[in-house]
Amino acid sequence: MHFYPAGESVCHELLELPQENVEWIITDATVADIVAAGFQRQRKDATCFIHPESGDLYQLARRQYLDEASGRLCYQSGDSVVLEDELATRVLTILAMAKDGDDIIDPFGGREDLAEGVLRHVTPHFSHVPVNLLAVAVWAARLSGWGFRIAHGAHALMKAMVTNGVVEKIRPREIAEAVLQAMESPRPSVFFRVLHRCGALRSISNALDDLFADTAQANGHKKHLTEERMPHAMRTIDRVAAKTGNVSSLIKQFYEILGDKAEGIFNSLGLSTLLDEPGHNNC
């Protein structure tokens, strides 16, 4: 077995950001090999494992392919799957890097995109994974302080996914988890703005999307909403996020900021139950 730190860990290291756990890719191994080595399965029948002592995430390398009969994206693992195959499954090029000692393995130009502040998809298979819409929005919010922008090609794919009805395949729990991740970012509004621009927010929350549409109309149908032209609720939640790192408190203030639209918006985002859970530690 060979182990490579990869993905978010390499991205954080290059940006000199702190990280709690390291993400690893395992090659030249089978699921049976990893289980025999004492790793714990993260999920049943998955190729993702947790180190029993460090808590680090270990992903067995997979090869991604499109099944022509069903049109579904499938994954294959095994001894023949190489590191580059697994990196090709990643959402963005900045997450498709690994390290071998001090050497950075970067088959898709992630380091250049990181330097230029670009969020770019890795392969056309991107459009076959519904949650990629949310993932791009989360990373745009996380890296908003560096001025990252979404590549035109990636944005075009996101719009096509919305047109093809991919948003309806995203589960409510996945939406709620992505919103919570966005709330941990310096500017949560970026998450919602990205989804609005590609059309996905309309399918997720009509009321929240209307905030952007109404503000754009009031400002003369501006295509790109600047900070000054953002909806009041979005500008406010950004200011609150800059002052507190407590996401639970931020969620409650977001509810208050939204006013009479709050209940409907929170229901659409799957966040309503969080307000009723005292001492909720995941937010």
Domain boundary residue, one of 124, 154, 181: 124
The pLDDT value given to residue 214: 76
Cα(62)–Cα(278) distance, integer angstroms: 40
Going by C-alpha positions, the residue among 3, 4, 5, 26 that lies closest to residue 79 is 26
Task: For residue 109, give both structure tokens.
Answer: 């130009």
Cα(205)–Cα(192) distance, integer angstroms: 10
Same domain as 205, residue 105: no
Cα(208)–Cα(270) distance, integer angstroms: 13
Same domain as 143, residue 107: no
The percentage of residues in the chain with a pLDDT greater than 70, rounded to a whole number, is 90
Q: What global pTM score does this model have?
A: 0.90
| Mean pLDDT value of segment 92-97 | 98
Domain boundary residue, one of 99, 124, 149: 124
80 pLDDT higher than 70: yes
Q: What is the CATH number of the domain that holds 108?
A: 3.30.460.10
The pLDDT value given to residue 278: 45
The pLDDT value given to residue 71: 81
216 pLDDT higher than 90: no
225 contacts: CB under 8 Å, gap ≥ 6 = 193, 212, 215, 216, 219
Going by C-alpha positions, the residue among 237, 220, 182, 223 that lies closest to residue 204 is 182
Same domain as 149, residue 91: no
| Mean pLDDT value of segment 34-50 | 86
Confidence class for position 43, pLDDT limits 50, 70, 90: confident
Same domain as 7, residue 120: yes
Supply the range of the domain harboring residue 203: 130-283
Same domain as 154, residue 119: no
12 pLDDT higher than 80: yes
Domain boundary residue, one of 84, 100, 124: 124
Cα(212)–Cα(258) distance, integer angstroms: 13
| 3-state class (DSSP) for residue 119 | strand
Confidence class for position 116, pLDDT limits 50, 70, 90: very high
For the chain, what is the mean pLDDT?
90
pLDDT one-digit tens code per residue, 145-171: 999 999 999 999 999 999 999 999 999
Cα distances (Å, whole numbers) of residue 236 to 7, 52, 65, 227: 32, 42, 43, 11
Confidence class for position 283, pLDDT limits 50, 70, 90: very low
Cα(88)–Cα(65) distance, integer angstroms: 10
Cα(228)–Cα(262) distance, integer angstroms: 22
pLDDT one-digit tens code per residue, 1-10: 999 999 999 9
pLDDT one-digit tens code per residue, 27-37: 999 889 999 99
Single-letter code of the amino acid located at 102: D
